[in-house]
Amino acid sequence: MSLALSQKTIGNIQVLVLAGEIDAQTLPPLEGKLQELLDKGHYSFVLDFQQVSFIASAGLGVLMSVIGTIQENNGDLVIASAQPEVYRTFDLLDFTTLFKFTDSVAAGVALFPNAAGVQGD
């Protein structure tokens, strides 16, 4: 099992579509992509978790390591369409207080004030 990662942009929001399992083996590409986008000044993220069947604490750690920088820059990271067991892993560690969760990517995108594509300053 691996983790497939694709990226699309809706307005100024970076949507990362993940598919597979997130653990210490599979997460380096996700970590690298998030860092690359942060380095380019992107701070608005929706992560599409619909096809993620498993996440270990290593994956939560990576998301935690970027949320501080994201929020300091008035951005956010929303997790969309998480499966119940994956959501439960977040919940067991109280990470549900750190990230917003939505039922769909569209609902996640709509949480951003400038979702219409107007670049915030």
User: Residue numbers of the site for another protein (CB under 8 A)?
Assistant: 1, 21, 23-25, 54, 56-58, 60-62, 64-65, 67-68, 85, 89, 92-95, 97-98
Pairing verdict, β 76-80 and 3-10: unpaired
Residue 16: CB atoms within 10 A of its CB come to 18
Q: Report the nearest approach of another protein to the CB of residue 46 (Å).
A: 20
Residue 83: CB atoms within 10 A of its CB come to 14
Residue with smaller CB distance to another protein, 66 or 109: 66
Residue with smaller CB distance to another protein, 72 or 121: 72
Q: Report the nearest approach of another protein to the CB of residue 63 (Å).
A: 9
| Residue 70 near residue 45 (C-beta atoms within 8 A) | yes
Q: Report the nearest approach of another protein to the CB of residue 100 (Å).
A: 14
